[in-house]
Structure 1
């Protein structure tokens, strides 16, 4: 009798990763939003400003990081 073997499991499954179109690999991050924040994000998606919640949140995060980079640069100029 021959024993059936399945292929070895991937040691680091990337089931929680995705890729932007020709862009970087993305990790999943979970956070809690207030009802108002979620409604605002949904409104932006519904208005076709962003394709989905993730895109809207990434855009907001990018603006936050740019803001802090600008603040740090101003501090360094003093």
Structure 2
């Protein structure tokens, strides 16, 4: 188990290939924009559409997953 965490730490700190830097940026942007929209709808007291309530968790989850996966890649 210690070796797994050591490998994860090493990969997290390693330099990423350019392609995965783009993936990380896109994933982070998708999640951040979805969060900003949700917060503005909630704070403004707007009626949140049903379609938005359905896709919002997926936008956050997919963006976070893309970012985490890209971060674990390393340049050789």
**TM-score scaled by structure 2?**
0.36
- Give the TM-score normalised by the residue count of structure 1: 0.36
Larger relative contact order (C-alpha < 8 A, sep ≥ 6)? 2
Q: Report which of the two has the higher share of helix.
A: 2
